[in-house]
Amino acid sequence: MTRSTLALGFLVHLAALAPAQADLWKRASEPPDPTTDVFNALMQQGDDAATEANAQSLGTSLVLRQVDIALGAYRGASRAKPRSAEPWFRIASVLDSFFFDGCDSELLQHPRPKSCNAPGAPASRNARARELLEAWDTFEAISPLDPRVNEVLYKRAILRTKLLGATTQTIPLLRAVTKDYEALLDRQDGLTAGRPDGILGNLAETYLMLGDIDRAIDTYRQAIRGGGGVSTIYGFAVALDRDGRGDQALGVIRSQGIEGAEEFEKSFNLGAIFFVPTGEEEYYFALAAEAFGNNTAAAEHWRAFISSGAHPQYHPRAKEHLDKLSLRNSVRIKVPLSPDFGRDLVPRSPLTPQRPRRP
């Protein structure tokens, strides 16, 4: 699954998060509003604490203290004006910046917040995730037409996907993820965080995790038509294989060449793509190794996939691959790649329906 690579949170100016303010002259002529004064004071307190928490000179404990002050101030502001969405957006921005998006990828150009490595951070991650989801949900409920909801939908889907390994209630969570991606596609305006092909690729993978293979294959095709990269094409191959079309799946992977396999591995190692639960990635690497004749590595990856316990509904398919490999010589076989190898497979072959849909 492709993750967003935007550097978010309080690395941007907090002032940019606020909606346009009312005309200053009009406000000056209105009678004082104690509630508004309290609201503004608390929002400013939150902004100041969040900005201070982002200072590189602070130690970890002081960063966490300033984060908690910011969150408390924004929650106080939300109580002062319950119909204001802005405090909830800033709560979400702080939580995301200091505990999630700012911590999860080596692709980010900015220093990782010190809160990422705080003592007990892994144990408190699920609690912070629930806080973040609540903030995003409340922001959307209060202001559903705010254009920033687009960013919320994408990032919320990613976070919910990552939570799959921490809950047994996977089906409701996956359905919530598909709802976010589908809503995001409905709202697509060209400005959304995450390109449309990335959204479609993630949606296709979510369908695959739900066991809706036909819909996953159709959505992967749309994603590839939209410019999806190697990870999307590999996902399409996995969907084909799990649909019993192993030869087509191997052909799709070969169409990307050895360079494609190297690019896929690099993206995984950098955290640009991730898989849940842990072990799902073994299916992808097993299929790639098998496609290029490295039967020993393929068998190791198939066994690792089964041992991981990831998606047990697909373990029988992995065992089928192992049975076939046991009949072959386990010596690595190099696939000769001519200059024209795979040229006729991309993009026509992966996108051409191979057989009618099942009823």
Condensed to tens digits (0 to 9), the pLDDT of residues 204-251 reads: 999 999 999 999 999 999 999 988 999 999 999 999 999 999 999 999
Please say whether the structural domain 147-228 has been given the CATH code 3.30.70. Answer: no
Per-residue model confidence (pLDDT) at position 121? 54
β-partners of residue 2 are 273
CB 284 within 8 A of CB 272: no
Q: Write out the two tokens for 94.
A: 């702080």
> What pLDDT is recorded for position 285?
97
Q: Is 318 helix (H, G, I), strand (E, B) or coil?
A: helix
Supply 56's token pair. 């590189």
Of the candidates 200, 276, 206, 284, which has an alpha carbon nearest to the alpha carbon of residue 241? 284
Residue 12 structure tokens: 């941007």
pLDDT of res. 113? 77
Give the model's pLDDT for residue 146: 94
- Residue numbers of the chain with a pLDDT score lower than 70: 3-32, 102, 104-111, 118-123, 167-168, 189-197, 328-359
The segment(s) of the chain belonging to CATH 1.25.40 are 147-228
Q: What's the pLDDT at 207?
A: 96
Give the whole-angstrom CA distance, residue 349 versus residue 235.
15
What are the φ/ψ torsions at residue 2 (nearest 5 degrees)? -85, 135
Q: How far apart are CA 69 and CA 284, in angstroms?
A: 44
Supply the pLDDT for residue 124: 77
Joined tokens for residue 36 = 């508004």
Instruction: Report which residue type is found at 198.
Output: G
Rounded Cα distance between 108 and 143, Å, is: 29
Q: What is the model's pLDDT at position 22?
A: 43
Instruction: Mark 325-350 as b/e (b = at least 16 C-beta within 10 Å).
Output: beeeeeeeeeeeeeeeebeebbeeeb
The pLDDT of residue 106 is 53
